[in-house]
Structure 1
Amino acid sequence: MRNELLDVLYTYNNAFASDNEPLGARKGHEVDITLNTDRKYPPVLRRPAYPASPRAREAFKKHIQELIQLSVIRKVGHKEEVEVKTSVIIAWHNDKSRMVGNFRALNTSTVSDRYPVPRIQETLTQLSKYKYITSMDALRGFHQNVLMPKAK
C-alpha cells in the first residue's frame, strides 16, 4: 500500500509545492472566470485602500513581490506596476501576516458556476469502503487554480 501511495504522489508531483518553490498546479481543472460585460463594473472596485500602518504596508509589499515571483499576479500597464483596485487589509496571526482582499463588488460582476456542494453524508458513505483516507492542504489556496487563457 505504501508503494502504491508513493507511485501516485510521484505521478502527480507537479501538484505539490513547498515554501519558496513555484506553486503546485491543479492541471486538468482549469478555472474559467467570466465577467458580465453588459454593465459597467461597480465603482466600489476603485475604492481607496484601508488605512495601514507602516508595518502593514511593508508586509503588503512583501506579499505582492511573493505573488509576482510565484507568477500568481503580473505587472500591467505602461509603468509595469502592480495596481491593486480592491481594498486590501493585512491580517496578523502569530506574528505572521496575511493579505486579504475585499472582492465582494467584483463577485457581483462574475458569472457564477452552479455546481452543487456534495452532501457530507453521501461523501462519508462513499468513503466508508476505503481503508485509508487523507487530506492535503493547498499551500496558497486559490492561487493554485490554473486559469483558462481567456480568463486571464
Structure 2
Amino acid sequence: MVGNNCSYGSTGIVKPEERFFENKQLLEGKILISIRSDDVIPLRVMNVTDKMKVVHAGTIMGRYTPVDDDDIDGVSGESLAPVKTVEIPEHLKKISQETKRSLTSAQRKKVDQLIYTFSGLFAKSKDDIGRTNQIRHKINTRDPRPVKQPLRRIPIHSRNEIEDHVESMLTQGIMEPSLSLWASPIVLVRKKDGTTRFCVDYRAANQLTVKYAYPLPRIDDSLDRLSGVSRFSTLDLMSGY
C-alpha cells in the first residue's frame, strides 16, 4: 500500500516508508510511475535477511509524491550516466576503508552503497545505543511479593563513577526514575581495559523468575552451514550483556 493521495493519470515518485524497513527489514527502491486506472503500483522489494517475510494487506510501504512532466527527462540505455558515488558518513569512513582493501573498483562501490544504505545500524558514538521494537521483554515471577534488597556500601572513590554511569544511561534512555517496590544492589565490575562495567545483582530476583527452556543450535551444525563461505563479518553490540 502506498500512502498519500494518488489521482488517476498523474505521474510521481514513490519513496520507501522508513518505518516499513525498520519493522520488516525489507529494502525498496524509489520508482517513477504513472497512476493507472487499476490503482496498481509495482514496487521492487528485496529481503536482506535469511528469513521469510510476510507483508499484510494495508501495510504502508511507500509515499507517493506527484511531479510535473516537464521535470522528467527521458533517458536510454546508452545515455545513462555512471552511478554517483555515495557520500559515506564521517563515523563510517574507517569501516569503509578497512573493508575495501582487496576488492575491485566495482566491488568497492557496492560496499559503500551497502554501508550507506544501512548507516543507521552503526553506532555514531559510545552514547548512540540502538533499540528494537520487535519484542517486548517480560519477566514472569512465581511469587508476587517483590524482592527488596538493601544498598551495599560503595567506596567513596567509586561514587563519582556510579553517578556518571547513571547520568549516561538516563540520557540514553536505558533507565528511568522509578518508585518500584523491587530493588537490587549495584555492583561495579572492573574490565580488562581499566574501565568499569555497571551491573546489578539480580540473583535474589532471579530465584523467583520462571526459567524457560530454549534449544540452542549445535556448534557443529552451525559450522556446517558455513561450508563454502569465503567472507565473514562480525557483529558486536555497542552495549550489551
Percent identity for Structure 1 against Structure 2:
19
Name the CA distance, whole Å, in 2 between partners of 1:59 and 1:27: 31
Q: 1:148: which partner in 2?
A: none
Name the CA distance, whole Å, in 2 between partners of 1:8 and 1:33: 35
Give the gaps of 5 or more residues in structure 2. 1-106
- Aligned AA for 1:73? M
CA contact (8 A) 1:41 1:109 kept: no
Q: 2:216: which partner in 1?
A: 117
Per residue, is there more strand in 1 or in 2? 2
Q: 1:16: which partner in 2?
A: 122
Q: 2:184: which partner in 1?
A: 86
Q: 1:70: which partner in 2?
A: 172
Task: Specify which of 84, 102, 119 is matched with residue 201 of structure 2.
Answer: 102
CA drift of 1:129 comes to 2.4
Q: 1:39: which partner in 2?
A: 143
SS in 2 for 1:141: coil
With structure 1 as the length reference, what TM-score do the two structures score?
A: 0.70
Q: Which stretch of structure 1 is more off in the superposition, 100-109 or 4-13?
A: 4-13
Tell whether 2:157 aligns with 1:55. yes
With structure 2 as the length reference, what TM-score do the two structures score?
A: 0.47
Higher relative contact order (CA 8 A, sep 6+): 1
Name the CA distance, whole Å, in 2 between partners of 1:84 and 1:42: 5
- Aligned AA for 2:129? L
Matches within 5 A, 1:124-143: 124-142=223-241
CA RMSD of aligned residues (A): 2.8
Alpha carbons of 1:76 and 1:69: their partners in 2 closer, same or farther (altered >3 Å)? same
CA contact (8 A) 2:188 2:198 kept: yes
Per residue, is there more helix in 1 or in 2? 1
Q: Larger C-alpha radius of gyration, 1 or 2?
A: 2
CA drift of 1:7 comes to 4.2
Give the gaps of 5 or more residues in structure 1. 143-152
Alpha carbons of 1:102 and 1:5: their partners in 2 closer, same or farther (altered >3 Å)? farther
SS in 2 for 1:62: helix
Deviations 1:119-151 (A, max 9, x none): 111111101222111112111115xxxxxxxxx
